Structure 1
Amino acid sequence: MGARVELAVPGSDATLGVIRHGHYGRPVIVFPSEAGRAEDFANNGMLGAVQDLVDAGRVSFFCVDSLDKFSWSAYDQPTEERARRHRVYHSWLEQSVLPHIAWEMGGWQSNIITFGVSLGAFHAAHFTLQRADVAPLAISLSGSYDPTSWRPWGEIGEATYFANPPAYVAGAEGDHLEWLRSHANLLLVVGEGPFEWEPTKSYPSTLAFAEVLQSKGIPHQLDVWGHDSAHDWPWWRKQFAHHLPRFV
């Protein structure tokens, strides 16, 4: 397993971890599932599922910790406060993780893939839509993309809107919409099997998000697996191994 590196969270004394797997190839930021850690990618067999690509020097994974317990999973906080807290995580990604990847890869990168499962799928899609200049491709498995559906309470404001991909993509227009069309590409994968409907709502959320992307002309692919495909690691390993080779 790669060595864990702690990177400072801007504006605080806290750190979050990053683990690199691989020495060459296209960089991938790997987001864990809800409240997960950088170790989860290897511990759940995701690295092993694509080890041949790592060994061939085609891909390097930069697995990151989540900050979900402080933000989206802090259900004692209103939705708007959770969204404001998410900005701390986004700042960490921009100000700490991206420079770390540039240092590790020997120069600034503009072809990063983002990847995640479950809540990590949301993080992957959101980061690509925000920073498609450096991370133009998101691979999102079994995601739920609308934070207003995650045990919402309190008044919804600007912070939630700008952390809600289906909302801000639907509202995009003009130069910003053209920028998204020319820079971003998303692969949305979901199954129809156990836990993809309830309680995660990943299946309806993924299809609804794909419809918004389609309506705005933003490049994307939707891949729906069958009724045996569950919201769980064995299926995510299969889906990842199926799709990743054509991008690296």
Structure 2
Amino acid sequence: MTEKYHRWYSQNLGIDVEMLVFGDRGYPVILFPTSQGKYYQNKDEGLIDSVKWFIDEGLVKIYCPESFDWLTWYNKGVQPSERARRYAWYDKMLLDELAPWAMHETGVNKVATAGCSFGGYHAANFAFKHPDKTAHMFSMSGAFDITQFTDGFYNDDVFYNNPVDFLPGSSQPDLWHMNIILGTAEHDICRADNDRLSNILNQKGIGNWLDVRPFASHDWPVWKEMFPYYLSTIK
């Protein structure tokens, strides 16, 4: 399995971004880490190994960027307005730097996004904000209401990076053509978040699969079962 390390200076963030990339061809998948996880977390926890066959067969090329949670939503050292502003910069980095890079390398005109736990938030936020750039969204035990990190503060940067707020009013046509999977588990601490997001999508007539795994909880074993199956739905 091909693995490459990349580091570049982001004009949008004003700092270096680190990333691991797995595979040399195939559909581009941007895979985010869990809360405050590093760019190598999904490798270390075995999630990449769980989809090794897809990588080796050239079906997917997986991009694992740094999430910068410590700089944005989890940064209690700055005001909530600054957390939100920095996350808007992070979204611009994904949109203007990483997604075009992944699409250019693979010759595909849209990406897939994926992530576990808080990584599911990153995956959903990018996909639903930019459905013209995203064809598949796979969230595993995601949580989607960012206001838990804003201490009551609210502005446009919060609204437009909070899927449960901006999605109900969105009319971007590509949303209705996206392959959306919301993976959760019977005993998942984020089960209610997934039920809520699925209901929002259903009310808009946007197709989605709410995949609830029985007897399972919020942890890596169930995510390593989910991820290979979800990748198999990429056409």
**Cα 1:207–1:187 shift into 2, 3 Å:** same
Within the candidate set 191, 196, 221, 2:185 is matched to: 191
2:206 aligns with 218
Instruction: Report how far residue 154 of structure 1 moved.
Output: 3.8
**Cα 1:99–1:243 shift into 2, 3 Å:** closer
Pick which of 95-104 and 16-25 moved more: 95-104
Q: Say whether residues 1:242 and 2:218 are aligned partners.
A: no
Q: Quick one: distance in 2 between partners of 1:140 and 1:167?
A: 18
Q: Say whether residues 1:72 and 2:73 are aligned partners.
A: yes
**Cα 1:87–1:246 shift into 2, 3 Å:** same
Q: Quick one: distance in 2 between partners of 1:63 and 1:154?
A: 31
1:144 aligns with 143
**Cα 1:11–1:61 shift into 2, 3 Å:** closer
TM-score when normalising by structure 1 = 0.87
State whether residues 28 and 60 of structure 2, in contact with CA within 8 Å, keep that contact through their aligned partners in structure 1: yes
TM-score when normalising by structure 2 = 0.92
1:155 partner SS: coil
1:144-174 C-alpha deviation (Å, 9 max, x unpaired): 1001134x414312211111101111233xx
List structure 1 segments (4+ residues) > 4 angstroms apart after TM superposition. none
Instruction: Report how far residue 233 of structure 1 moved.
Output: 1.1
**Cα 1:212–1:80 shift into 2, 3 Å:** farther
1:15 aligns with 16
Instruction: Report how far residue 7 of structure 1 moved.
Output: 2.4
Amino acid at match of 2:159: Y
Higher-strand-fraction structure: 2
Equivalent residues, number: 234
1:30 aligns with 31
1:69-99 C-alpha deviation (Å, 9 max, x unpaired): 0111113444443222101111111222123
Q: Quick one: distance in 2 between partners of 1:139 and 1:203?
A: 15
Unpaired runs of 5+ residues, structure 1, are: none
Instruction: Report how far residue 12 of structure 1 moved.
Output: 5.1
Q: Quick one: distance in 1 between partners of 2:34 and 2:158?
A: 20
Alignment of 1:1-248 (within 5 A): 2-11=3-12, 13-105=14-106, 107=107, 109-150=108-149, 152-172=150-170, 177-193=171-187, 196-197=188-189, 202-226=190-214, 228-247=215-234
State whether residues 22 and 59 of structure 1, in contact with CA within 8 Å, keep that contact through their aligned partners in structure 2: yes
State whether residues 12 and 93 of structure 2, in contact with CA within 8 Å, keep that contact through their aligned partners in structure 1: no
Instruction: Report how far residue 178 of structure 1 moved.
Output: 5.0
Amino acid at match of 2:141: S
Root-mean-square deviation (CA), in Å? 1.8
Q: Quick one: distance in 2 between partners of 1:25 and 1:79?
A: 39
Instruction: Report how far residue 11 of structure 1 moved.
Output: 4.3
1:68 partner SS: coil
State whether residues 129 and 184 of structure 1, in contact with CA within 8 Å, keep that contact through their aligned partners in structure 2: no
Q: Quick one: distance in 1 between partners of 2:196 and 2:79?
A: 24
Unpaired runs of 5+ residues, structure 2, are: none
Instruction: Report how far residue 180 of structure 1 moved.
Output: 4.3
**Cα 1:75–1:184 shift into 2, 3 Å:** farther
**Cα 1:7–1:102 shift into 2, 3 Å:** farther
2:186 partner SS: coil
Pick which of 58-67 and 73-82 moved more: 73-82
1:225 partner SS: strand
